[in-house]
Structure 1
Amino acid sequence: MPAASSSFDTVVDERGIFTDYAYFSSMSSTWLDHAARFCADVTRRLALGPGSFVVEVASNDGYLLRNFVAAGIPCLGIEPAANVAAIARAAGVPTEACFFGRDAARDILGTRGGRPADLVVANNVLAHVPDLDDFIGGLALLAGPRGVVSIEAPHLVALVDGVQFDTIYHEHYAYWSLLAMEAALARQGLRVFDVERLATHGGSLRVFSAAADHPPSTALLALRAEEAGRGVGGDAFYSGFGPRVRAVLDGLRAWLDGCVAEGRRVCAYGAAAKGNTLLNAAGVSAAEILAVADRSSAKQGRLLPGSRIPVVSPAAMLALRPDDVLILPWNIEAEVAGQLRTAGFAGRLAIAVPRLILRDAPV
């Protein structure tokens, strides 16, 4: 799948990013719970059972598909990162390690005598795709004339409203409104018939589409009208975003400078890409943040790019006795805060997006 090219942007080769990957979805209980609810709901909605077939593209470590395995519903994961695919297979989730597109879809259909999938899932992957027509064309092939394609993606409107600039980084090739997604799916013969709004990633969409003609849901008609009313298709919708980003960075910078002046010890939690984007944009270094904790052993013992802040285990971070912990993955703030309070951290917790918020320990 060749990387797209543009006269305006430098596009990073996806094979250099995703062939060996350090993100594991099962590290987050928030994501495990979200996946379990989706699988239960869609199983009822589509009446899936032992005679059905489910494919997830970008299936990571099998965190979602293991729910279908447990329910006795045949499934297959497609995951480009060989190291992550191996973990999924070890957990009992059938997984192919390859990049996805039309050729991969044809290979899967070939092993099944041409029988399409009943459900094709593509969660939080559409932003990572440089060749959209090849990727979505593959989804359409897998679903065939009667299958359903379910896609989750962070909503562009939420990104703009929430000043979520830290999700704009090299792994993401596009940012999705319903307007743009419907157009991209329609080019490959997929018609959107329903949409759900989700709280994940600070505001996401779950979009259902199919080659078959389904009547549009009330929720779909309402979101189409909302995006049109907000002017998502025009330039004016995005005006002022830059100054709002600058305000977030200035707020973080001022707080950290104040902590240094007061002699407060600051650490951070979550060695995720969004956090690294935030820290580098604000010019943060290891002189201001002592360490970043992460539950993934694949990240521990490394340094964050640019800032050179060491990545350690949560226990090692707490052993540094920080006064404040900055939660970088603000989208799972409640989960992280619960873990830290349970572990005995009694200092202040902070998030920086969409503005700096400090939370004292409950009395």
Structure 2
Amino acid sequence: MGALPERAVAMLAAVHARPGLTRAEASRVLGIGTGGAAEVVGRLVGERLLAEGPVVPAVGRGRPTRRLTAHPEGPLVLAAVVTHESWRVDAVELGGASVAGLSGRHSGEPAGAVLAELRRSVEDLRARFGDRVRGLGLAGPGIVLDERWLDATVLGWTDVDLWSVWPDAGVLVADNDATLAALAESRRGAAVDARLALHLRVDAGLGGAVVEAGRLLGGARGAAGEFGHLPMGDPAVRCACGARGCWGTAVDGGALARLLDAPEPRDPVTYARQVLARDDDAARAAVATVAAALGRGVAGLVNALDPDVVTLGGLGAELLAAAPGELDAACRAGLMRFRGGTPPPVVAARLGEDGPLTGAAERVWDRWWARLRR
């Protein structure tokens, strides 16, 4: 598809952000007249990029209008996520809804084997949907440099080429799972409309990102947000990254195992969820200690970054649910005095485990809008 006029691309982006937007609402959002909006919509419907629903009765004296949605034969993007235990790839239509998906599990196999499974699933979805597929976004469980190279220390993966999943994709972007979850929360989750949002995701370690007015602050090589490697943990504990005292080692399944005098878990995420599900004094005490360590670190980042809201994903949300008092008390104790009266809310990520996948899709749509404007 060739370039589209700016108004047409803006219309697509508006409907993507707000599925079900009426034609009249879209004209107001874009600052164009109803006649101009009708012309743009007509072109987009003709090119099978948008569809119009039934007539919506007018409110007051306005004219009846129609809701705008994804075309049933319209563009799709593929979004994939690899975790320390599993992989998943979905086909996502305009507006963010998934229309198909494939998934599987792995047990820390070499990166090549896991990506080969993911590549076969991507090929299956491409065969199913043909040229409707516009690109691929990938979320990885570690540092992703230059939107391509993954280092997942817990899995022992280094310099993994994520682009091998679809080498000749027209649009291909990759990033850290926590970074993409942060973007998703700002677009479709608990941080919508925040001026500055801080997202933290606890998995096998801790990562996160800062989003300012809907824009990720990614750093020089896209590796910003590795908050789990701030030296806010126990200096006696060595992290898989090679440093000592990383904050992530104080808030994950490994931290719970040490508090319970258990061996280092092979699968720290599954182990953490097993401890969270227990109903005994030792488990509750360990969870409270880890939740407090998470709260203290949140306070430090709030003091440094001044966010409107802090969203917690992965095990972070589960720790918040299990020990809200301990997490909140530790956070408040670490805040500067002037923040004490109105600290930013610390809330569970609304999108949950779908966050990284949703963020991966959003990145591809962003790149596709840019291509349409050329």
Which protein has the bigger strand share? Answer: 2
Give yes or no for TM over 0.5: no
Q: How does the TM-score come out when normalised to structure 2?
A: 0.33
Q: Which has the larger radius of gyration?
A: 2
Report which structure shows greater RCO (CA 8 Å, sep ≥6). Answer: 2
